[in-house]
Structure 1
Amino acid sequence: MGLQGQEGLWVIEVFVVVFITLLANLIVRRMLNRVALKLEKTKNQWDDILVEASRQPVSMLIWVIGLSWAAMLVDMKSDTSILVAVEPVRDVAVIVLLSWFLIRLVKGGEQAVLEPERFKKPMDETTAHAIGKLLRASIIITTVLVILQSLGYSISGVLAFGGIGGIAVGFAAKDLLANFFGGLMIYLDRPFVVGDWVRSPDQEIEGTVEYIGWRQTRIRTFDKRPLYVPNATFANISVENPSRMKNRRIYEKVGLRYDDAAKVEPVINAVREMLQQHSEIDQRQTLIVNLNSFGASSLDFFIYTFTKTTDWVKFHHIKQDVMLKIMAIVEDHDAEFAFPTSTIHTPDLLNNDKASDLSPANLERFAEMDRVHPES
């Protein structure tokens, strides 16, 4: 009976180890909660990120240590060789948890640097995502190599195989690699960033950049459709970035009647003065209001100026205000806008006494003699 009690004692020991692990996990979690509450009152944001990143990995690490301890007790008290499998699993688990902690730390830092509430000068979203992706990729690659080393594999052999296999992979996945390097060039050259309005005259690409990945870029078109563009495409097309314009241009042509030829110059001077006094027109940029051409039925002058704003909606409000003021100026000068007109000149035959003879033959004759030309 005593022998059986001693043999069953290891079960109690295993139970105690599991209970201690559970208790330690509970204590550590409460300690981290209290530490997090105190650190929230400080101005330093990185300590909050550090605590938040360590919560789940630390909890899992306690369970890994506790369960491996329990497995060691089972191995010591029984004839099984469970420890042979437990040790490498424990080592791999610790490496993975450390990697998980670092990835969470990088992700938390990436989100933090984008929040103006945490930092006075938040980082550009595209730059933050690029740095975060590079750091996470480095952590994952390093983790895989360390795990292989801990399992007894030769790192030099793995790297040599990777060099040979990389050639084959390069040929098989050349499009994928082209997109990868295309994304890298976008991050380095920065022709656009997340939030920019871009368009390409070479292809039907226009919209707002939402996300820049390693393989493709997501653009939201103005009709709210998502457009996925492979990054390699941007190496072969021209890309316009209207978001980086400094001004928006107003370019309009206005036509007055030939009957108002004497009023053209006063109208042009009044329009120019109006634009020079307009609060939303950038006076540092080119401003032109001049008679431009003798049209078929109008005297045409053009307006060439730039607004201070680049906002699309506000620009159209300003443009509307300018055009309404031009209409008022034309009306104040008792002039009228021209529209396509034609003048029919009839022969003198219609004015003599025989004009009353409007027989079909005479009407046909008159039609042949008429000539129609624009008013001048």
Structure 2
Amino acid sequence: MLELLAPLEAFAKDHLGLPHWLLAPLLILAVALLADLTAWLITWRLGPLLQRTRSRWDDAVVMAFRRPLRVWIWGFALLSVAAFLVARFELDWSDGEAIKIRSLFTLLMLAWVGLRMVKQVEQRLLFPPPGHPAKPIDASSASAISKVVGASVLVVVSLLALERLGVQLSGILAFGGVGGIMVGFAARDVLANFFSGLAVHLDDPFKVGDWIRSPDREIEGVVEDIGWRLTRIRTFDSRLLFVPNSAFSTITVENPSRMHHRRIFQTLGLRYQDMTQVRAVVAAIREMLESHEYIDHDQPMLVNFTGVGEHTLDVMLHVYTATTDWAEHQDIQQDVLLRIADILDEHDAALALPVRELTLNQAIALEASEHDTSSSDNAAAERPPEPGGDQPKGQGKLRGDEAASSSSNATQDNDA
């Protein structure tokens, strides 16, 4: 190749004053610039046109090649320039190494194209083009497909790169038997989470956006992402909860997001003195529910007097709303309960309170009253009089009075 460029190098040196080694790099870069402009015109102009077609994948292919193709053009050009300079200046670098580097760079760009293609496929599965008969699939299934295909692309490219580096694939496969056992023991938790995540994607017990909860664990919230190792859940107090996928193989998971209806279940406790109004109250509540616009009348609707409790006459209410939205369900339940309160007022009934009545025998009450009166009189009689008060006749003097009398007698003797 150097012999073919020799006349051009001589011409450039004589007429343009360029060094003889600079002509080939400039030509390579010029060709790369022309190829880049051509690729830009094709991809950036063709992409929007293909998006308006009814085909599902043509624009995805163009979008996947857009950036990697331009990077590959300039990368390949720079590697070619480096290889030419090495050959020109006779550096200690073989042509085989240059070819190997260019091959590895091309594989890297193909891997980039594959991953971009996977992302484009995921978007087309979620959002088909307008007018296309295909139906969109849920985000969890699309994410599972993209992750599996992306992992396959990376594995294939890695094996091809190892082969280009001179590594024998047969040795890798032979090591995979023993090495797989060692890796299995060392990373059994990671593998358990991986296969549990795969099972979640295949069984589809929940998907992104579902409200789930577990009665076995304190897990409740909205699923934000299902990864290969962890599932990210946003709780109702806005905290993030990261649950290993292996946990879902050992616990029970409820998915309230997939319910068809929401239930209103209440037990009304009426007073004992409202026994005569129970029949009319039950009939009025049933009539109100049958005419309620937000109650699903195709589902079982039960309003019954179910029994006599310790303090109440129990009336059971069991109906379903026509919506599954939690906020709307709460509004409907509030409206139903307020209407029931109006019905109880119309029939002079009320909800019972837990009370206890004590009935005392009249004779016992009188005896207790007389006993209390005699006890108070005895206590008053036994109480000592206050100092300085009037003393009754025949009662002895107190210590203070005796002292006062002695001093009075002594005074009279002195006067005498």
Partner SS for 2:314:
strand
Q: Equivalent residue for 1:99?
A: 111
Residue 89 of structure 1 is matched in structure 2 by: 101
Deviation, 1:181, is 0.9
Which stretch shows the higher mean deviation, 8-17 or 65-74? 65-74
Q: Is the CA contact 1:10–1:73 (under 8 Å) kept in the aligned structure 2?
A: no
Normalised by the length of structure 1, the TM-score is: 0.88
What is the rounded CA distance, in whole Å, between the counterparts of 2:313 and 2:113 in structure 1?
Answer: 74
**Distance of 2:374 and 2:296 partners within structure 1:** 65
- Unaligned runs of 5+ residues in structure 2 are 1-9, 377-416
Which residue of the partner structure matches residue 217 of structure 1?
231
Output the TM-score relative to the length of structure 2: 0.80
Contact 1:53–1:108 under 8 Å retained in 2: yes
Return the alpha-carbon distance in structure 2 between the equivalents of residues 360 and 167 of structure 1: 95
1:139 matched to 2:133: no
Partners of 1:33 and 1:177 in 2: how far apart? 42
Q: Given the alignment of the two structures, is residue 296 of structure 1 paired with residue 310 of structure 2, yes or no? A: yes
RMSD (CA atoms): 2.6
5 Å matches for 1:242-321?
A: 242-321=256-335
Distance in structure 2 (CA, Å) of the matches to 1:361 and 1:186: 84
Q: State which of 360, 363, 372 in structure 2 corresponds to 1:359.
A: 372
Where does the alignment leave 5 or more consecutive residues of structure 1 unmatched? 364-376
CA contact (8 A) 2:65 2:113 kept: yes
Structure 1 residues 29, 3: CA separation in 2 closer, same or farther (over 3 Å shift)? closer
Letter in 2 for 1:191: P
Tell me if 1:229 matches 2:240: no
- Does the alignment pair 1:35 with 2:46? yes
Of residues 67, 74, 84 in structure 2, which corresponds to 1:63? 74
Q: Is the 8 A contact 2:64 2:113 kept in 1?
A: yes
Question: What SS does the corresponding residue of 2:306 show, helix, strand or coil?
Answer: strand
Q: Deviation string for 1:150-206 (max 9, x for gaps)?
A: 222211111111222111111100111111111111111111111111111111111
Give identity over the alignment, percent. 42
| One-letter amino acid of the counterpart of residue 99, structure 1 | A
1:25 matches 2:36: yes
Structure 2 partner of 1:370? none
Residues 81 and 246 of structure 1, relative CA distance in 2, 3 Å threshold: same
Secondary structure (helix, strand or coil) at the match of 2:357 reads strand
Alignment of 1:333-344 (within 5 A): 333-344=347-358
Q: Following the alignment from structure 1 to structure 2, what is the Cα–Cα distance between the partners of residues 304 and 260?
A: 21
TM-fit CA distance, 1:362? 8.9
The structure with the largest alpha-carbon Rg is 2
Q: 1:196 to 1:13 in 2, by over 3 A?
A: same
Aligned partner of residue 293 in structure 1, secondary structure:
strand
1:22-81 deviation digits (Å, cap 9, x = unpaired) = 332133213321212322333334222222211111102212332233234324433124
Deviations 1:200-255 (A, max 9, x none): 11111111111111111111111111111111111111111111112211111112
Separation in structure 1 between the aligned mates of residue 234 and residue 76 of structure 2, nearest angstrom:
48
Cα distance in structure 2, aligned partners of 1:50 and 1:361: 109
Change (3 A) 1:361 1:308: farther
Pick the aligned partner of 1:184 from 198, 221, 238. 198
Aligned length: 361
